[in-house]
Amino acid sequence: MLLDPGMNLTLRPMKYPDFYEQYRAAIRNTWTVEEVDLASDLADLAKFTPQEQHLIHRLVAFFATGDTIVANNLVLNLYQHVNSPEGRLYLSRQLFEEAVHVQFYLTLLDTYLPDPDERAKAFDAVNNIPSIKRKADFCFKWIDEVFDMQELKTGEDRRKFLLNLICFAACIEGLFFYGAFAYVYWLRSRGLLDGLATGTNWVFRDESCHMNFAFSVVDVVRQEEPELFDDEMRRQVTAMLEEAVDAELQFAEDLIGEGMPGMTVADMRSYLEYAADQRLVRLGMPKRWESANPFPFMALQDVQELTNFFERRPTAYQVAVEGKVDLDEEF
Ligand SMILES: [Fe+2]
Ligand SMILES: [Fe+2]
C-alpha cells in the first residue's frame, strides 16, 4: 500500500501510472522567472495610494516565505512517506517548482522593495507581522504533528500524515495561496501590476497541480485503506479548514481594512468559504458553508491564463502544445 513504510524502487510494473502522468504534465508546464517582466510594475507602484501600498507590501511579505515553508514540508514529510517511485518523481518535480516560486518572489521583493530595511522586514514577516505570523504558525503546527514520525506504522500515524498532506494542499496551497492570488487578480482587473499577474498565472497553475496531486494521493489511500476516512477525519478536516479561513480573514482585515472598490473583507470571506467548500467536495466530504464566489476575476482566471500562456511564451509553445495544458476548473 502507498503509505506502507519503505523505499519502493519498482517502476515496472508501475503501480500508480496516474502519478507518472502528472509528473509528465508538470514537465510540460516549465517556466522560468527570467520570462516575467516585473519592471513594468514600477510605474504602477509609484502611483499607488498609501492604502494600496500597504496592501501590496503585506502581500509580498506573505509571498516572501510561503513557498519555502511548503518546500520544507514536502521534503521532510511528503517525500518520506509517499512510498512510490513514480509518486516521488512527481514530488521531485514539485520541489523544483517550489524553488522557482521562491526565486520568483525573491525577485519580486528585490524589485518592489528597494529599501534594504523594508525588504529585510518583509522577509521576517513570519516573526513581526501578526496576520502573517498566524498563518505561518498554522503551517508549523501541522508540520510539528508529523515531524518526529520515521514510519507510518499504525492507522493513527497514517491519519496524522493524511491531515498534514490535506492541510498543505487544501489550506495552504488551496486557500492561503488562492486568497493571495485573488488580490493580484483584483489589481489586474483594475489594470495594475501586469508583471506580477503574469508570474502569478504560472504559479497559480503549478499550485493547482500540486493540490490535485495531493488529492490524488488521498484518493489512492481512500481506496486502499477506507477505514481511515471516518467521521473523525471529516470533523478534523472541516475544523482545519475553518481555522485556515479564520487566519486568512485576519490577513484580509490587515490588508484591506475598511475595504476597497470591488474588494471587501466580506467579499473575501465569501470567496474563502467558497474555495474551502470546493476542497471539501474534492475530498468527498460535505460542504460546510455553501457560499458563492463573489469574484468574477477569479472565475475568468482559466481563460486568461491560457491566453497569457500562448501570447507571452512563444519559445515554450512547441513544448506546451505537445500535451494538454492542465488547468484548475474550480476556483
Ligand atoms: Fe509554490
Ligand atoms: Fe505548491
Average pLDDT of the residues in 64-85: 97
Average pLDDT of the residues in 87-93: 98
pLDDT at 309: 52
Which residues are tagged catalytic? 105
Ligand 1 geometric centre to CA of 204 (Å)? 8
Nearest ligand to the CA atom of 104: 1
pLDDT at 324: 40
Nearest ligand to the CA atom of 100: 1
In this structure, is residue 55 part of a structural domain? Answer: yes
Ligand 2 geometric centre to CA of 203 (Å)? 8
Select the more confidently predicted residue: 111 or 331.
Answer: 111
| 5: Cα separation from own chain's centroid | 27
Task: Assess whether pLDDT exceeds 80 at residue 275.
Answer: yes
CATH of the domain at 233: 1.10.620.20
Reported as a single tens digit per residue, the pLDDT across 101-129 is 999 999 999 999 999 999 999 999 999 99
Alpha carbon distance 270, 3 (integer Å):
36
pLDDT at 8: 98
Nearest ligand to the CA atom of 172: 2
Ligand 1 geometric centre to CA of 242 (Å)? 22
Nearest ligand to the CA atom of 212: 2
Ligand 2 geometric centre to CA of 209 (Å)? 8
Of 71, 75, 65, 74, nearest in space to 133 by CA: 65
Of 258, 282, 286, nearest in space to 331 by CA: 282
Ligand 1 geometric centre to CA of 61 (Å)? 15
Reported as a single tens digit per residue, the pLDDT across 240-261 is 999 999 999 999 999 999 999 9
pLDDT at 320: 39
Nearest ligand to the CA atom of 173: 2
Helix, strand, coil percent values for the chain (each to nearest 5)? 75, 0, 25
Task: Assess whether pLDDT exceeds 90 at residue 331.
Answer: no
In this structure, is residue 5 part of a structural domain? Answer: no
Ligand 1 geometric centre to CA of 266 (Å)? 27
Alpha-carbon separation of residue 86 from 64, 83, 184, 219, 319 (angstroms) = 30, 9, 34, 16, 22
pLDDT at 315: 35
Residue with cell 522593495: 113
In this structure, is residue 250 part of a structural domain? Answer: yes
In this structure, is residue 117 part of a structural domain? Answer: yes
Task: Assess whether pLDDT exceeds 50 at residue 194.
Answer: yes
In this structure, is residue 121 part of a structural domain? Answer: yes
Average pLDDT of the residues in 281-287: 97
Task: Assess whether pLDDT exceeds 80 at residue 314.
Answer: no
In this structure, is residue 132 part of a structural domain? Answer: yes
Reported as a single tens digit per residue, the pLDDT across 171-187 is 999 999 999 999 999 99
Count up the domains in the chain and report the number.
Answer: 1
Average pLDDT of the residues in 2-15: 98
Q: Is the dihedral of CA 212, 217, 223, 225 positive or negative?
A: negative
In this structure, is residue 114 part of a structural domain? Answer: yes
In this structure, is residue 36 part of a structural domain? Answer: no
Ligand 2 geometric centre to CA of 325 (Å)? 17
Task: Assess whether pLDDT exceeds 90 at residue 36.
Answer: yes
Task: State the chain's mean pLDDT as an integer.
Answer: 92
Domain membership of residue 257 as a residue range: 49-320
pLDDT at 299: 81
User: How much of the chain, in percent, has pLDDT values that exceed 90?
Assistant: 88
Ligand 2 geometric centre to CA of 50 (Å)? 31
